[in-house]
Structure 1
Amino acid sequence: MLIAQISDIHAGPDLSSLRTLEWAIGWLRSFRPDVLVVTGDLVDDEWRQGYRLVAESLRLLDFPVYLLPGNGDDVQLMRSEFAAVDTWIKATGPMHFRVAVDGLALFGVDVTVAGQSHGDVLPHLPWLMSALADVTTPALLFMHQPPFAIGIEALDRVGCRNGSALLSTLETIHRLPLAILCGHVHRPAFGRLGIIPVQTCGSLCPPNPLLLEGRTDLPVIDAPSFLVHEVSDGGLVSHVVSIPASDGRA
């Protein structure tokens, strides 16, 4: 079972991120994963047309696509513009999703907070606990922000709150998710929430510098990237797919 994950497109009128998205879409059309999950921050600065252009690109894929908003998204614009292209997004309420695909359960938790830049998982734990209660297959949990600080202060200020409450909730169910898969960080990063692996996906816009513990803001040499997750025999292996600058960026 192959699950692709794209995050943090941050499409803007200069079209550079949309060109990167086109490269990723072309690669995915040839590679043909079973599912694509997009974990938020689709456009910059409430660019209305950007949502429709992203939706039109995603519509080229002939396998299921599931989406979450990020802390940089305008949820109402996202809903209205995506509705003009397809019916991926619920009309009201949090944009959670729950789907079973070939013996694997995928859960998306919308942790956005209206009018705020941070996320908060706490209001959605009752939904998540109910959704996970009867799951007997391997599961993956998707969010925009990771449920703990990742060490880059500017990102952690607008991170997801109440990660400890998420862990306490997950520890009450009989089967933990294989991993929690997030975006927000604009670079691949790996950690744990309790014993649950947590991964962040690279971005389709320029990656963030590694501003850890006061280190100098060095030039970023990382390429834009996304992830392909393989679930087999109850285990998970994740692969980073980097996008060549000559094909994906202006």
Structure 2
Amino acid sequence: MLVAQISDIHVRPDLSSLQTLERAIGWLRTFRPDALVVTGDLVDDGWRHGYRLVAESLRSLDCPVHLLPGNGDDLQLMRSELAAVAPWISATGPMHFRAAVDGLTLLGVDVTVADESYGDVLPHLPWLISALADVTTPALLFMHQPPFRIGIEVLDQVGCRNGTALLSTLETTHSLPLAILCGHVHRPAFGRLGTIPVQTCGSLCPPNPLLLEGRADLPVIDAPSFLVHEVSDGRLVSHVVSVPVSRGA
């Protein structure tokens, strides 16, 4: 079972990130994952046509697509322009998703907070515990912001709050998710929430510098990237796929 994850496209009128998305989608069309999850921040500045361009690109894939909003998305525009591409649990309210694909459960929790840049998982824990109640297969849990501090202060200020409550809730379930898979950070990062692995996906827009513990703001040498998750025999292995920047980008 192969699940691709793309995050933080940040499409804008200069179309550079859209070109990177199209290269990633072209690769995925040949690779043929069983599902694709996009973990937020699709478009910058509420650009309606940008959502339409992303929708057009995603429609070219021959697999189920699932979408979460990020703290930079316009949720109303995203819902109106992408509802035909990827369904959510309900037509209004939080844009959660739940799907079963070939013996694997995919769960997406929309942690966005209206008119704020930070996320908060606390209001959505009742839905999550209900969604997990009858799950008997291995599960992957997707969010936009990771539920803990990652060490880049400017990102942690707009991170996801109440990660401890999320862990307490998950520990009451009969089976923990194989991993919590996030975006937001614009670079791959790996950690744990309790015993649950947490991973962040690279971005399709330029990656963020590694601003850790007051170190210098060094030039970014990372390529845009996304993740491919392989689940086999109840175990997860995740692979980083880099997307070369085109000569004209």
Pairwise same-fold verdict (TM > 0.5): yes
Query: Where does structure 1 differ by over 3 angstroms across 4 or more consecutive aligned residues?
Result: 85-90
Match of 1:200 in 2: 200
Cα distance per residue 1:77-107 (max 9 Å; x no partner) = 1112224x54634431111011111111110
Correspondence for 2:23: 23
Map residues 160-239 of structure 1 onto 2, 5 A cutoff.
Answer: 160-239=160-239
Q: Could you say which residue in structure 1 is the equivalent of 2:87?
A: 88
Following superposition, the deviation at residue 140 of structure 1 comes to 0.4
Partners in 2 of 1:199 and 1:158 — Cα distance?
17
Counterpart code for 1:39: T
Q: In the alignment, is the contact (CA less than 8 A) between 2:65 and 2:86 conserved in 1?
A: no
Structure 1: distance between partners of 2:190 and 2:86: 33
Structure 1: tracts of 5 or more residues without a match: none
Matched, 1:152 2:152: yes
Tell me if 1:72 matches 2:105. Answer: no
Cα distance in 2 between the residues matched to 1:86 and 1:215: 42
TM-score, normalised via structure 1 length: 0.97
SS in 1 for 2:246: helix
**Superposition RMSD in Å:** 1.1
Identity %: 84
Provide the rounded CA distance (Å) in 2 between the counterparts of 1:118 and 1:224.
23
CA displacement, residues 203-226 of structure 1 (integer Å, 9 cap, x when unaligned): 000000000000000000000000
**CA, structure 1 residues 167+102, in 2 after alignment: closer, same or farther (shift >3 Å)?**
same
| Structure 2 contact 112–120 (Cα < 8 Å) conserved | yes
**Alpha-carbon distance between aligned partners in 2 of 1:195 and 1:119, rounded to the nearest angstrom:** 22
| Partner Cα separation in structure 2 for residue 240 and residue 180 of structure 1 | 16
- DSSP 3-state at the match of 2:226: strand
Q: How many residue pairs end up in the alignment?
A: 248
Give the TM-score of the pair, scaled to structure 2: 0.97
Distance 2:171 2:71 in 1: 26
Q: Matched residues in 2 for 1:101 and 1:61: separation?
A: 16
